[in-house]
Amino acid sequence: MKRTKRWLLAALVLGVGVGGFTISKGTGHAATTDPQTFISTLKSPVTTVANKYKLYPSVMMAQAALESAWGTSTLTTTANNYFGIKGAYNGQSVTMQTSEYDSNGQLYYTNANFRKYPSAKASMTDNATLLRNGTSYNPTIYSGTWRENAATYSDAANALTNTYATAPTYGSSLISIIKTYSLSSLLDGSSTSSSSSSSNSSSADTAAPKPKPVVYDKATYFGASGTQTARLNAQYTSYRLYNHIKGTREKVTKTAWNKVRAGQDVQVYLDMRGVKKATTTGKKTTWYRLKFTNSSSAKKYWVYGKALTLPTVKYTKGSATVKVNSALSGSYYNHVFNSPYLAKSMGTLKKLTAKSYTADNQAVKTQDGVKSTWYRLKVGDGKYWIASTETAASPQYDYVVYSAASGTKKLSAKYKKYTLYNHVKKTHFNQESYKWPSGSKKGAKVTVNYKGLKTAYGTTWYRIQFSGNKTNYWVDSRALA
């Protein structure tokens, strides 16, 4: 869930007034220039929702007034959105221009989707849910607004500064509205003091529990070797750059894209991958540390993986004997180099001096339209990836001469001694074997449609089909009469 952070600037961009209340009306909500009418109209949904979620109704009413310019903002009149919450609500949204501050305090403008609600109460409920549940990276970020944590409405209002909004006067602006229109006595059910230190606070207020400590998400980090790259995708502006993985520690700062050399399809350089696990939900997300140049002194940023277009890798299990050219320069890795896992060098090819190695997995990587094949080899007690390019790793398959064939043959008396395969045995990595189909017996007819001769062994293989079965099988000719 996202919302605009600078209420005053958002109001100006969305075409609303903060002090004069003289804005054009839309179609989804009846705008008013009278604060008392606004309060009277929203009193029922505000008190119902705020009390249900154990929040201060006075603070919710003040927020709604401030964020919506007393119900006159274009966002409120067209979408019943009283709090500037971004995104979509049950698939419904409106697109409007808004303003943001970057990490350096500079103002910039951008288009954003804002939630469209069927009613004012739906908007109040959505905002209350946000205050109670927080964000994915910090579920307790708004816990200072909860009535069990906030001794007074002013404590709750001030808790929204630098959390819900970045304006330093946000809390004091809410308190001013509450005092001006006596919202606390009207909505909260008591004349709650505007200061938590006031002698008028009740004993229940002074005994309120302290806010719970912030719990950060955990991240596991994986280093990478060499120059591994990705590209910014079409959705990269939906995310932000950070100095650390978001939500994993305090004082994580963000950088706007207009401060770096960003753009769709721009190449970035990756040197670390991080897997974040949300403390509250257990959900895992992948993050990457990147630079915009390959210079060792270039500034590094963390970004959510969905902002990047990474190479794709298709893995296939199988078996092959692989010879390695240890005379070449290069390395073997814990993952396919430049795959979404990123890779770390585990040693040089010069160390792979055995006559051959067994591969149990093949990977075809596609990066910027270029394909390369990799094999996972068993080396000692470990398994590592090596590229087949430039003859660094060469699978050893039997040589076969293929030719067209036709006609029918019969299964021999010894057909069960042999196995059906998807390819001639020991000629492909993804070799698969099959059971003889039901109804197979000595003398059963099969159709022949291809022939293979293994010249080194002098053996002949046929590709066959069984009656009523269009599957092709390869079998040693000795299974046929």
Say if residue 213's pLDDT is above 60: yes
Q: What is the pLDDT of residues 101-137, one digit of tens each?
A: 555 556 667 788 899 999 999 999 999 999 999 887 7
Q: What angle do CA 24, 28, 32 make, to 5 degrees?
A: 45
Question: What is the spatial distance between Cα 300 and Cα 138, in angstroms, rounded to a whole number?
Answer: 24
Return the pLDDT at 376: 95
| Mean pLDDT within 180-199 | 66
**27 band by pLDDT with thresholds 50, 70 and 90:** very low
Q: Which segment of 31-45, 188-202, 258-272, 385-399 scores lowest on mean pLDDT?
A: 188-202
Question: What is the spatial distance between Cα 277 and Cα 55, in angstroms, rounded to a whole number?
Answer: 29
Task: For 240-330, list the strands marked E by DSSP.
Answer: 241-242, 254-255, 267-277, 284-291, 301-304, 308-309, 312-324
| Mean pLDDT within 197-224 | 64
Say if residue 329's pLDDT is above 80: yes
Q: Which segment of 61-65, 102-106, 242-246 scores lowest on mean pLDDT?
A: 102-106
Q: What is the pLDDT of residues 355-370, one digit of tens each?
A: 999 999 999 999 999 9
Return the pLDDT at 280: 85
Return the pLDDT at 414: 95
Return the pLDDT at 105: 55
| Mean pLDDT within 41-65 | 95
Q: Which segment of 16-30, 190-204, 320-334, 357-371 scores lowest on mean pLDDT?
A: 16-30
Return the pLDDT at 210: 55
Average pLDDT over the chain reads 85
Return the pLDDT at 442: 94
Rg of the chain on CA atoms, in Å: 34
